Structure 1
Amino acid sequence: MPVFSLEPDRAAWCEELRALAAERLRPLADKGEPGRVNRPLVAALGELGLIGRLFTSGALDLCLMRESLARVCTEAETALALQGLGAHPVAASGTAAQRERWLPEVTAGRAVAAFALSEPDAGSDAAALALAAEPDGPEGSGRWRLNGEKCWISNAPEADVLTVFARTTPGAGARGVTAFLVPADRAGLGGRPLDMLAPHAIGTVTFDAVPVTCDDVLGETDRGFRVAMRTLNLFRPSVGAFAVGMAQAALDATLAHTTGRRAFGGPLRDLQAVSHQVAEMATRTEAARLLVYAAASAYDEGAPDVPRRAAMAKLLATETAQFVVDAAVQLHGARALQRGHLLEHLYREVRAPRIYEGASEVQRTIIAKELYKDLDAAKEAGA
C-alpha cells in the first residue's frame, strides 16, 4: 500500500469510526468520572469489536483506529489503547491457557488490562527496573514473590489483570527481567490512584510478597524485556497516531474559528499572520501523519528498521501535536483556556505522550543508535 494515501475502504472505515465515536462513545465518555476507569466506555469498545481488532489487525489499522477516535473522543482512544497495551503481551507471548483465560474477557470489554513497566526510579530507563521477583522455594521450583512498586501505571489500581515486568536476575540489566501475568486479586497486590494533569486512571501498584509461578510467565524467564520491546515497537507509532488525531482536531477547530471570528474589519483567516500559522499547523500535521503511516507499514511488512521508524514517528508526531495544539490555543485566545473548551482539554491531553512509552529524548537516542549501527554495519560489510 502506498504510504502517502489510504485505500478507499480504509478511508471509509476511518469516517465510520469517527461517526461511532461521536454517536456512541462521546456520550459515555462525558458520563465518566475523571481519574477512574470508565467501564461502560470500555464495554462499548468491546461491543463494537474495536478491542478485538487490536489483536487481529496490523499496526496500520491500529494507528487508524487511534487517530480516528482521538480526533473525536480522546477518552475512547485512550481506553482502547490501554486495553491493547496491557493485553498485547498476552496475545503475542502468552500460553494457550493465559490467552484462553484473559483475551476473551479483555476483548469483550469485561476485563480491564494494565501494562506495568515504569517504576519511581525506572521510567525511560526501563532496563533499570528494580521490582524484585525473589525465589520462593528451592532453585528451579518456578515460584517467586514480587516485592516493590510500579508507578504511573495506566488503569491502576483498578485493572483486573496486569502485565508486570520484574527482575528475576539481579545486576543483569535488560537480560534479567521477566514478564508475569498477574490477576488483580492476587494476595499482596495493592495501589493507589495518582492525580495527574490529564485526569486519566493512572496510579501506583504495590507488591508485598505477591506470589507468582512459572504458569504466570509471559514468554521466557529473564527474557521479559523482549516482551516489553515487542509491545512498544508496535504501540509507539500508534502513540504518534493518537497525537496526530489530537493535532487534527485542533486544526479543525482553528479552521472553523478563524473563519467565523471577525477582527480588524474581517475574518481572522484574512490576516496573513493567521493564515500562515494555519498553513504551518496543517503541513506539520500531515508530515507527522505520513511518518506514522510509514512506520506502521514497515512494522506490518516485517522491515528490519522498525525500531528507528517507530521512534521517529512517535517523536515527530508528539512534538508536532504539542506545537499545533499550542498554536490553536493562541489563535483562539482566552476562550480556549476556559475549562471545558475542546482546546483546554487537548492542551492537557497533548503533554503526556511526549513522555510515556519513551520520552522524546529517548526516541532521539534510539534513532541515533540505529543510524550509527547501520553505518558501522555498512563499513564492516565493505571492509
Structure 2
Amino acid sequence: MADTSFLDWPFFEARHREFAAEVEAWAVANADRLTEHHDADGSTRALARALGESDLLRMAVPESGALDVRSLCLAREILARHSGLADFAFAMQGLGTGPITLFGSEELKRLVLPGVRAGTTLAAFALSEPEAGSDVAALATTATRDGNAHWRIEGEKTWISNGGIAGSHVVFARTGEAPGARGLTAFWVPGGAPGLVTAERIQVSAPHPLARLRFEGVRVPDAHRIGAPGDGFKIAMATLDVFRATVGAAALGFARRGLDLLLHRATTRKLFGAPLFDQQMTQAAIADAAVDVEAAALLTYRAAWLKDQGTPRVSREASMAKLHATEAAGRIADACAQLHGGQGVVTDSAPELLTREVRALRVYEGASEIQRVIIARAERERM
C-alpha cells in the first residue's frame, strides 16, 4: 500500500483528502479489472465510461468554475499507481477539453462537455504535427475562411492521443493574423466530421490509442472556434500550464508503484541465505527511490497549489515538477527492473511494464530538454 501521509501536507484541504479516497476506492475496484494492455482502444473506452459513471470526471471536465489542479494531480497519481491506461483515460478527457473549459463559449461548453464528462465521448488534443512538436509556432495546418460563418481546415496532426477513436477534437491551426505563434487559432472538430481521416494508427511501447490524423478540407462553423482568432498559442500554453504539473503527478504514481515493487522484492527475495534487503546496495537503491518520490511529490503539489491559488504563471514550477518527477520515475523503474534480475525484463512482468509505461512521460507535453530550457530562461528572468 503506497504511503498517503503526504495528504496531510498543507497543500491540501479536507475536500482533496475525500476526493483522493474516492479515487483510490474506484481504482482498487476497477482499474485492473478494466485494463487489458493488448486492447488499448477497448480498455480506454471502458475506463472512460466507468470514470464517467462514477462521476470522477467531474474534476477533469467541470460543469462550472476553474479546473482544480490539485484534484487533477491526485487523480492522476492514484490512477497511474494502479493502471497507466486508467490514468491516460482520465487525463485525456481533461486535456482534450481543457481549451473549451478555459476559453470556450457557453454554447460550445453545453455542446461538448457533457458527453466527455460522462465518459461516452472520448476527447483529443490535436496540437503536434510531423514538423512541429516542441516548436508550436511552426504549425503548418491551416484554417481559412469559408464564407462568413465557416472555416476549412487543411493539414496533418500526429502523435494524437485518442486519435482514431475520439468523438471530440480540439485542433490548432494557422489562421494568419500575425507571423509565428501569434497567427494560430483553436477549433473544435467532432469525430466523424467529413474530411477528418485517420491516416495511421501508431503503435508504441506502452500501448494506448495514438494516431496520425489528416484534415482534408474539414469544414467547421465559426461557432466552433475557441477564443478569438490568433489566440490559439495563448490557449494551448494556458492549457498546458494546467496539465503539465499533472504529468508530474502521473510520473509520481508510477514512481510510487516502483518503490512498492522494490520494497516487496527486497523483503521477500533471499540472496546468500538472507533477505535481499540486507545488501547495502539494495538499501541504497530503495533510499534513492524514496528521496526521488518525496521530492517529486513536493514539486508537483507545490506547482498545483500555486496554480490553484491564482498565480498567473506557474510555467517554471510546473516544468520543475514534470522534469524531476518523470526523470525520477525512469530511474526508479530502471532500479526496479535491475533488482528483479531476469524477471525484470520478462514481457508484461510488473517491472517490465512499469519501464515501458514511464518512458513516454519524459517526451510528451514537453520533453525533458524543453523543460530545462523553460526553467533556465525563468531563472535568468529572476536575476
TM-score tier after normalising by the smaller chain length = over 0.9
- What TM-score, normalized to structure 2? 0.93
Structure 1 residues 2 and 41 mapped into 2: Cα distance closer, same or farther (>3 Å)? closer
Q: Does residue 100 of the first structure (1) align with residue 110 of the second (2)? A: yes
* 3-state DSSP of counterpart to 1:38: helix
Matched, 1:260 2:268: yes
- Matched letter for residue 14 of structure 1: A
Greater shift in the superposed pair: 234-243 or 335-344: 335-344
One of 155, 161, 166 as aligned partner of 1:148: 155
Task: Indicate the SS of the match to 1:54.
Answer: coil
- In the TM superposition, residue 371 of structure 1 has moved relative to its aligned partner by 1.9
User: In the alignment, what sits opposite 1:280?
Assistant: 288
Deviations 1:188-237 (A, max 9, x none): 11113111111110001101111123111001111111111111000000
- The change in CA–CA distance for 1:262 and 1:244 in structure 2 (over 3 A counts) is same
> Between the two proteins, what is the percent identity of the paired residues?
43
The alpha-carbon distance between structure 1 residues 5 and 265, as it changes in their structure 2 partners (threshold 3 A), is: farther
- Conserved 8 A contact 2:37-2:207: no
What's the Cα RMSD here? 1.8
Distance across 2 between alignment mates of 1:15 and 1:32? 29
Following the alignment from structure 1 to structure 2, what is the Cα–Cα distance between the partners of residues 16 and 207? 40
Structure 2 partner of 1:169: 176
Q: Is 1:318 equivalent to 2:326 in the alignment?
A: yes
Partner of 1:220: 228
TM-score calculated relative to the size of structure 1: 0.93
Mapped contact 1:18–1:71 kept (Cα < 8 A): no
Tell me the secondary structure at the aligned position of residue 351 of structure 1. helix
Question: Out of 184, 187, 204, which is 1:180 matched to?
Answer: 187
Per the TM alignment, residue 266 of structure 1 is displaced from its structure 2 partner at its CA by 0.2
- Structure 1 Cα separation of the partners of residues 109 and 313 of structure 2: 29
Q: Secondary structure at the match of 1:350?
A: helix
Looking at structure 1, the residues matched to 330 and 361 of structure 2 have their Cα atoms a distance apart, in angstroms, of 9
Structure 1: state its 5+ residue gaps. 376-383
- The alignment partner of 2:165 has SS state of coil
What are the equivalent positions in structure 2 for 1:84-123 lying under 5 Å apart?
84-123=94-133
Q: Residues of 1 paired with 2:295 and 2:353: CA distance?
A: 24
In terms of mean alpha carbon deviation, does 290-299 or 28-37 score higher? 28-37
Q: Look up the match of 2:136.
A: 126
- Pairwise CA distance, 1:187: 1.0
Return the letter of the residue paired with 1:26: D
Task: Give the Cα separation in 2 of the matches to 1:72 and 1:283.
Answer: 21
How far apart in 2 are the matches of 1:194 and 1:337?
24
Aligned pair partner of 1:349 in 342, 345, 357: 357
In 2: Cα distance, 1:303 partner to 1:322 partner: 30
Larger deviation: 365-374 or 276-285? 365-374
In 2, the alpha carbon distance for the partners of 1:356 and 1:301 equals 26
Per-residue Cα deviation, 1:234-279 (whole angstroms, up to 9, x for no partner)? 0000000000000100100110111000002200000101001110
CA contact (8 A) 1:120 1:151 kept: yes
Deviations 1:135-192 (A, max 9, x none): 324xxx2432111100000000110010000000076111000000001121111113
Using the alignment, how far apart are the partners of 1:348 and 1:170 within structure 2? 42
Is 1:208 aligned to 2:203, yes or no?
A: no
Q: Residues 3-60 of structure 1: CA distance to partner in whole angstroms, max 9, x if unpaired?
A: 5665566445434422321212321113871355631211000011111122345111
Q: Give 1:381's aligned residue.
A: none
Q: Distance in 2 between matches of 1:291 and 1:178?
A: 32
Deviation sequence 1:273-322 (CA, Å, 0-9, x none)? 10011101110111011100000001001124411111111111111111
Q: What are the ranges of 5 or more consecutive residues in structure 2 without an aligned counterpart? A: 1-6
Question: How many aligned residue pairs are there?
Answer: 372
Q: 1:136 aligns with which of 133, 138, 146?
A: 146
Q: Matched residues in 2 for 1:93 and 1:37: separation?
A: 30
Q: Which moved more, 1:162-171 or 1:286-295?
A: 162-171
The answer (yes or no) to whether the contact 1:3–1:290 under 8 Å persists in 2 is no
Does the Cα contact within 8 Å between 1:119 and 1:129 map onto a contact in 2?
yes
Letter matched to residue 319 of structure 2: A
- Counterpart of 1:230 in structure 2 is 238
State the distance in 1 between where 2:186 and 2:211 align. Answer: 20
Aligned partners of 1:4 and 1:361: how far apart in 2?
31
Q: Which residue of structure 2 aligns with residue 79 of structure 1? A: 89
Contact 1:251–1:324 (Cα < 8 Å) also in 2: yes
Aligned: 1:24 with 2:34 = no
Mapped partners of 1:290, 1:34: distance in 2: 32
Match of 2:3 in 1: none
